[in-house]
Amino acid sequence: MPILSDPRNSHIEALLVAAEEGTLNKLPFLQYLNEIEDIWKIREAGGYLFYCTIVLLAHHRTAFPAEAQEILTKLAHELIEDARRVRAARFFFDVRGYLKAIVVLRLLAQEDSEQDFEDAANEWIFFEWGYGAHLTDRHELLCALALLLCLDSAPPRLAISLFQRLLRLDDQLADTDSLSSSLEPFRKCLAEPPHARYKLFLNLGLQEQLPALISPSPSLAIPCFGGSVVRRERTQYGTLQTASREPFVTGWLDSTLPPVICWKDDSLAGKFAPVASIGQHQPTSPFQTFALQRGADVLALRIYEYERWPRETIRDVWDVYDSYARAYCLSHTDAVLEQFEDSQAKGIQLSIERYQDDTHLVIFLWAISLEGEIEGVPVVTPARVIPSVPRRKGEEAWDIDWELPGGLWKVRVDPLAKEPLRKR
């Protein structure tokens, strides 16, 4: 849901404006505050609502009548208690949750969490933001850091550095991010109508902390956890973005980052379907993805662990908008490749319908291109590898030659190797 389409968000914004202008008596503020309290009780509060609420509690509580102050004080107490539990757990990989907890403790509880922030910040810098928060939760992180920079009398030492690093990354990704989601560039959300959802930060003095705007680079490599790299390349045929390995943290499925996504003519051209093979209750695909990118072509290895996600039918889907794709199943000769199109979507699907539990890995290899049709099929031969560990069926290694529009690819697929997909 877009941030400003929820009336509760416009209510909290209206309360902020009225508190600053001294016109609270013109609003049904008790009704608005009760709505905010209800949201927190069921833990739905997010992004914009959270940050506006923090500003209200930290700076404008005394502007409200006594009855309203009681609601605000109770809300602040609940936020502080929850933040203390988050801080005590020290689960730094939940970057968004931990950073919001630090904001609450420093601005509402007036607690010195300098060391807590520094410990977490060093982890985020060293491990490149854990599960990929700098890519999927960037606006949330920028807002939290902006609150510390604007409202904290002595912001944590590393807050400005983290804020500027994230904002420069947002500047680089702004042109393509806005095409694949409703998220506008952070700078645009600060001041440009009708996107100025974060204008409150400028009112609090954030302008002084903004680094100079740098034009997006045609080629970008973004370091991520564990040596993974997200690459984005602009070509004459369109723009491709791939993750060398996704998810970055093994077993972490709560990521909305597409492992491969492409754009053409300012429109989304293709991506892997975010929910595949295990039903609608799982937020993301159970596949591990390894991708190589060259020009306007991509090879993507998709590994499905049947023992972790047992299911009779296993499917993988590439949503086609304006791109070309072809897939091959290395582990099962009975996999079916088919195209589909209906009123809702158009795509290419690779599936195994009646899966027999004879192997614990399902190995799909996808070729994706923005340049043109993929007419050839891969030439697959068993690879000679040192059998350092016993290999079960589905764990074999293969050497593959595949002619794509941009040229011939020579790769090795070895699901037990440190790099399951690599050039040779």
Same domain for 51 and 92, yes or no, is: yes
Instruction: Examine the fold and report which residue of 209, 229, 262 is the final residue of a domain before the chain moves on.
Output: 209
* Residue type for position 174: A
Say if residue 178 is in the same domain as residue 274. no
Q: CB–CB of 285/295 below 8 Å?
A: no
pLDDT mean over 174-201: 70
Same domain? 108 vs 226: no
Poorest-pLDDT segment among 94-98, 196-200, 274-278, 343-347 = 274-278
382 alpha carbon, distance to own chain's centre: 36
Give the pLDDT mean for 109-137. 90
The tally of domains found in the chain comes to 2
Three-class SS of residue 117? Answer: helix
| 197 and 256 assigned to the same domain | no
Is there a single domain that holds both residue 18 and residue 48?
Answer: yes
Flag whether 422 is in a domain. no
Residues 205 and 243 in one domain: no
- Domain of 340 in residue numbering reads as 219-374
Q: Please provide the average confidence, as pLDDT, over all residues in the chain.
A: 82
Q: Which residues pair with 331 in a beta bridge?
A: none
pLDDT score, position 370: 94
pLDDT(302) > 60? yes
pTM of the model: 0.86
pLDDT tens-digit readout, 44-61:
455 667 788 888 888 888
The mean-pLDDT minimum among 159-168, 177-186, 259-268 falls in 177-186
Give the C-alpha separation, 342 to 265, whole Å. 23
Tell whether 185 and 233 lie within a shared domain: no
Left if phi > 0, otherwise alpha if psi is -120 to 50, otherwise beta: which for 356?
beta
**Given a cut of 90, is residue 31 above it in pLDDT?**
no
Nearest CA to 16 among 55, 50, 49, 46? 55
Q: Assess if residue 401 is contained within a domain.
A: no
Same domain, 244 and 198: no
Is residue 280 scored above 80 in pLDDT?
no
Mean pLDDT of 134-138: 87
